[in-house]
Structure 1
Amino acid sequence: MQHLKPSRGPGQDGKAGPPPADAAYSDAQLLLAARLYYVDGILQTKIGRMVGVSQAKVSRMLAAARQRGLVRITVPEFEPRDAALEQQLCRRLKLKHAVVVRQIAGQSPAESRNTLGYFAGSVAAGWLAACGTIAVAGGRTLQCLADSMGRQPGPAQPTIVQAMGNVDAAPGQYDGSEIGRGLAQRWRGNFLALNTPAFVPDASVCRRLGEMREIREVFERLASADAALVGIGNLVESVFIERRVLQPRDIQSLRRAGAVGEILGRFYNDAGKQCATPYCDRVISMALDKLRKIPLVVGVVAGDDRTEAIRAALRGGLINALVIDDRAARLLLESRRLTGRR
């Protein structure tokens, strides 16, 4: 094939510089490669044999075709959020904010969490723009949301405070320590870590840790938080079971005590009140009574198995904003006896 030989522009030393990387290919060559790939679905290895280049160069040719405007990719309009459901949630549940992201049929739980986080991240970040202190819990869905929050949209450089100890001895990517540290770095703020396990062996250990100056300072800062980001767990798919902090027999004990949901490692009943169990004295996290006093508490949920837990959190005044998928939002609105926190 005949290649175009465009004139070379001057380099930094005034001499002729090298041509652009894609200048060696004519429009006709690029159109041929693009046609074979995008229209006919031919593999790049076979395209390479047809146009006389390597597979790696086929990828560069396709990129060059897009850069020259020879390939224009159009996608039918897709609105990832459901504005009508957002308005219904705010009106009926007296929420300050809500973002509802459409769930695509056939998505796995992990895919649903990632989609929710991607499309809701910038919206939730906007809610926090004026906040000076933000309490952050842990959780898989919350981690997906935080990863998509990007740069802080407001002028403030907030202090991010870990609101619950780490689930186990090796902090994972969805522990509050990792989520909070990542947010603080992206938002050029400060981070206060709660360097303890979420659950300790007994009440005496919990009490002694709480008396340490470093831990007291974290809880004092949490008490003055302007906002909080929390996940909402249930007793079916619990990260505490997944990471073997709680055993199935522990979950059975919590069920007998009336637990229907979990926030900050604290299990609560249908009225949104913490269940009276031995676990109350073993968890190191912000107390639910303190959480209720924070002006903005955003519950972050993906999946249609959390309706009862969300409903109880609303009854108990534990949250007043929601990041949620559309299926879970519909189930929540269909459920009865809802009372929202004002």
Structure 2
Amino acid sequence: MTREGRGPAELVLAATVARRHYLQGRSKVEIADELNVSRFKVARLLDFARDSGMVRIEIVADGEVDLDRSARLQEAYSLRHSVVVDGAALDPHALAVHLGDATARLLREVLTRDDVLGLPWARTIDIMSHALTGLPPVDVVQMTGAMEIPGVDSSAVDIVRRAARLTGGSSSIFHAPLMTDDVVTASTLRRDGKVARGLAEARRITHAVMGIGAWADGLSTVYDAATPAERREALEFGVVGETGGRCFDAEGRLVDPPLADRIVTIGADELRAIPEVIGVVSGRPKAAAVAAAVRGGLVNALVVDTEHADALLDLAD
């Protein structure tokens, strides 16, 4: 809607209505009475003022959080929570710390003492776990085994114990790798009493924080640890990403390629049953995988950087 063909009196009236409504907080009915026009005309003038660019509504950033992107992302993907942080000037480690701090702040808002927090092994989760101060005394449950990654010296057990120590709650842990060397070892571990009981604790989880990997080189620790044959087999199963060692396709459906038989992680039913799963991700390359995880309901909240948020918004258009 443009301003062409409208006389100055109507333009001034539109500006007056917009000023009284947006700056002075008057209701449409109040403005109609004050200006002796119908409330329907007030509504039309407000629409014209917005659509023509006479009025520009801007949501400004609040320190570290980009509120406008956060709101648009939440609406575009019907997320329970969405937090977008500016990471443009940060190196990868600093950005991970930034995302971890933002995730910890979100958890401080949403967790109550009746909740149970689930944490898998992931590099982003390891960094975030150091920031979990000020939370209620929630129990913390280990969701997966651990991977050995150069430069990362924390196991899944370390992450859960650290988080529980900071929250003051109890920790549920088990000692196992995320990926074993063969199927027999993984099967044996899953039947082990301590591991089986630990994995069963996932049924208690009300909130989980997960990293999300895309099925490509350097974008998933599981992909990087898989053999070339396993990677190809996973692609044949339609795998586009993984979270907590569980693979999913482009619609966010959990799938079990042969590789899944040597992974120690929570069950598919337990993962789907978690009421709130917060995905923590950065950068553009993982956007398609994250969008799939959201579509499939594997993740229903996000903490991301502006670059990743823009990529997700592009996919939503």
TM-score, normalised relative to structure 2: 0.73
Which residue pairs with 2:43 in the alignment? none
Structure 1: which amino acid aligns with 2:112? Answer: A
Match of 1:167 among 118, 127, 147: 147
Q: Matched residue of 1:195: which SS? A: coil
Which residue pairs with 1:311 in the alignment? 291
The answer as to 2:123 corresponding to 1:143 is: no
C-alpha contact (below 8 Å) 1:169/1:197 kept by paired residues: no
Match of 1:80 among 56, 64, 74: 64
Mind listing any 5+ residue stretches in structure 2 that lack a counterpart? 1-60
Distance change >3 Å, CA 104–CA 96, structure 1 → 2: same
Match of 1:267 among 223, 247, 251: 247
Which residue pairs with 1:239 in the alignment? 221
TM-score, normalised relative to structure 1: 0.68
Shift of 1:207: 2.6
Question: Deviations 1:247-267 (Å, cap 9, x if unpaired)?
Answer: 455434433432111111122
Which residue pairs with 1:54 in the alignment? none
Shift of 1:198: 0.8
Which residue pairs with 1:295 in the alignment? 275
Distance change >3 Å, CA 170–CA 334, structure 1 → 2: closer
The answer as to 2:288 corresponding to 1:279 is: no
Shift of 1:173: 4.0
Structure 1: which amino acid aligns with 2:109? Answer: G
Structure 2: which amino acid aligns with 1:321? Answer: A
C-alpha contact (below 8 Å) 1:96/1:321 kept by paired residues: yes
- Equivalent-residue separation in structure 2 for 1:203 and 1:181 (angstroms): 28
Following superposition, which runs of at least 4 residues in structure 1 exceed 6 angstroms of deviation? none
The answer as to 2:95 corresponding to 1:115 is: no
Match of 2:86 among 94, 102, 117: 102
Question: Deviations 1:264-283 (Å, cap 9, x if unpaired)?
Answer: 11221111123342112211
- Equivalent-residue separation in structure 2 for 1:206 and 1:127 (angstroms): 35
Q: Which has the larger radius of gyration?
A: 1
Match of 1:324 among 288, 292, 304: 304
Question: Deviations 1:90-124 (Å, cap 9, x if unpaired)?
Answer: 2221211111101224x332222122223442223
Structure 1: which amino acid aligns with 2:64? Answer: P
Shift of 1:149: 2.3
Structure 2: which amino acid aligns with 1:239? Answer: T
Q: Matched residue of 2:254: which SS? A: coil
- Equivalent-residue separation in structure 2 for 1:240 and 1:173 (angstroms): 17
Shift of 1:169: 9.8
> Normalized per residue, which structure has more helix?
2
Question: Deviations 1:135-162 (Å, cap 9, x if unpaired)?
Answer: 101222222222222231x3xx222111
Distance change >3 Å, CA 240–CA 175, structure 1 → 2: farther
- Equivalent-residue separation in structure 1 for 2:150 and 2:194 (angstroms): 20
Q: What is the root-mean-square deviation of aligned Cα atoms in Å?
A: 2.5
Q: Matched residue of 1:260: which SS? A: strand
- Between stretches 132-141 and 114-123, larger displacement belongs to 114-123
Identity %, equivalent residues: 25
- Equivalent-residue separation in structure 2 for 1:325 and 1:81 (angstroms): 9
The answer as to 2:117 corresponding to 1:134 is: yes
Shift of 1:329: 0.9
Q: Matched residue of 1:292: which SS? A: helix
C-alpha contact (below 8 Å) 1:137/1:175 kept by paired residues: no
